[in-house]
Amino acid sequence: MARDWEQARAHLVSQRQSLIEQLAKGFVSGESERHVELLLKIQAAIDVLDTADESDEEDDEDEDK
């Protein structure tokens, strides 16, 4: 399952980078607003995956004790 999380995170990071590049080029204000909203949602998803991964690692450490 960790591998699925890693792949999902890598995909989200790639999408985030693409949006950042598009925003840097500049777009019509409505388009930029939509891109920023999507960027925030992607970052939130990355944060959730990171938190879940950290929690999973802590659970693994507790099981080893």
pLDDT of residue 17: 97
Identify the domain containing residue 38 by its residue range: 2-64
- Taking the chain (65 residues) in runs of 10, the rounded mean pLDDT of each run is 85 96 78 90 95 74 63
For 3-64, give the DSSP string. Answer: HHHHHHHHHHHHHHHHHHHHHHH---HHHHHHHHHHHHHHHHHHHHHHHHHHHHHHHHHHHH
Per-residue confidence (pLDDT) for residue 62, from 0 to 100: 63
Structural domains of the chain, count: 1
